[in-house]
Amino acid sequence: MRLEVADAGVGLQPGDEEKIFAAFSRSSKDADAYAGIGLGLALCHSIVSRHGGTISAGDNADGGATFTVVLPAG
């Protein structure tokens, strides 16, 4: 199963696509302008991994970011 979620936020700084899934890590792009401590995506990564799936992030062509979760069927 594949799920894609796109947002209209600030997007990602190049090179932050993997970093943002680590605990207490945030994209350096405008990070000071938004609240958060960097746990949300780390929790998502942990949950998806425990279900045998993958999660990734990339730029959204309309601005913001796109997050893709792939889980095994069944």
Using CA atoms, how far residue 41 sits from 19, 73, 74, in Å, is 10, 22, 24
- The confidence score (pLDDT) of residue 28 equals 74
CATH superfamily of 2-70: Histidine kinase-like ATPase, C-terminal domain (3.30.565.10)
**pLDDT tens digits, 12-50:** 888 889 999 999 988 877 667 778 888 999 999 999 999
DSSP secondary structure letter of residue 32? G
Q: What's the confidence (pLDDT) of residue 61? A: 83
Residue 50: per-residue pLDDT: 97
